[in-house]
Amino acid sequence: MDLSPPGENVETKINKGHLYLRVNDRPSWEESLLFGCQQATVCLSALLVYPFLVSQLACAGDATIALRVQLIATTFVACGIATLLQTSFGLRLSILNGTAFSFLPPLFAFFQLPENRCEIGQNVTVPEEEWKGRIQTISGSLAIACVVFIVIGATGAVGAFSKFVGPITIVPVLVLLTLSTVPMIDEKLSLHWISIVMILTLIVVVIYLDDVHVPIPIGIRPLRVVRVRVFGQFPYLISVGFVWVLCLILTVTGIE
């Protein structure tokens, strides 16, 4: 059905196979801004997970909140610098560098050791050198692991390993890494019922509204109506924005 007024142009941005931008295409600055905001919104939660986990597992007692704030600030600054370097030099991949969930299993294993297991609450005063020692041990271990990755990439050993590592080998590892975070996700979701609304909204936008073309007026004279797959291009941005607005309304009205 044509929703545009008579005598006005209608354009539909439909690419074959739902491919909106090809490799050599340059998006406009408006599209770049929206795509960047969407990626930052998606990565924001992942950037907050690691500081929350490390501060909780470090067993810092009444210094847990202060440690968490420092870790969050450090994570944001480090990821920002890494992203600027990644997008400015070398291959210039347009990605936001963030925390890697592959480090979660060794992190959990480290704090499950009898000498590192936390048995105290957040109201207890813990000596600073005690919990800082744990943080330094974690930092050193992860730094060594990252050096190994750099050596493997610089020597070209990735090409040799890729001949022996295929999907059958990678998929079980990814499944195990994902399953290790399920208890934590289940615990946090049970504390915030609004997460159910977020999940349902994302499912509706991604699955049921993916092919919906929304008419958007552009210009004044002459007026053009461009039909764009807004829900298919910005599913996370729309879902997160909708839930944020809903939370704001519930907070202002005092309902929740």
Give me the tens of pLDDT residue by residue for the chain, a chain 256 residues long: 444 444 444 444 444 456 777 777 888 888 888 888 888 888 887 788 888 888 888 888 888 888 889 989 998 999 889 888 888 887 777 778 888 777 777 787 888 888 777 777 778 888 888 888 888 888 888 888 888 888 888 888 877 777 777 777 777 877 776 776 677 777 777 778 888 898 899 999 999 988 888 888 877 777 788 888 888 888 988 998 899 999 999 999 988 6
Q: Quick one: which of 86, 96, 118, 85 has its CA closest to 40?
A: 96
- The reported pLDDT for the residue numbered 181 is 67
- The reported pLDDT for the residue numbered 201 is 93
Q: Are 99 and 50 in contact (CB under 8 A)?
A: yes
Which residues make Cβ contacts (< 8 Å) with residue 119, sequence separation at least 6?
none
The whole-model pTM stands at 0.69
HSE-CB at 16 with a 13 A cutoff on CA atoms is 0
| Amino acid letter, residue 32 | S
- The reported pLDDT for the residue numbered 45 is 77
Strands 9-12 vs 224-228: parallel, antiparallel or unpaired: parallel
- The reported pLDDT for the residue numbered 3 is 43
Which residues make Cβ contacts (< 8 Å) with residue 235, sequence separation at least 6?
202, 205, 206, 210
Both tokens of 236, joined, read 């996370």
3-state secondary structure labels for all residues of the chain: CCCCCCCCEEEECCCHHHCCCCCCCCCCHHHHHHHHHHHHHHHHHHHHHHHHHHHHHCCCECCHHHHHHHHHHHHHHHHHHHHHHHHHCCCCCCCCCCCCHHHHHHHHHHHCCCCCCCCCCCCCECCHHHHHHHHHHHHHHHHHHHHHHHHHHHCCHHHHHHCCCCHHHHHHHHHHHHHCCHHHHHHHHHHCCHHHHHHHHHHHHHHHCCCCCEEEEECCCCCEEEEECHHHHCHHHHHHHHHHHHHHHHHHHCCC
Q: Are 231 and 212 in contact (CB under 8 A)?
A: yes
- The reported pLDDT for the residue numbered 6 is 46
The CB density around residue 78, as the number of other CB atoms within 10 Å, is: 14
- The reported pLDDT for the residue numbered 2 is 41
- The reported pLDDT for the residue numbered 204 is 93
- The reported pLDDT for the residue numbered 41 is 82
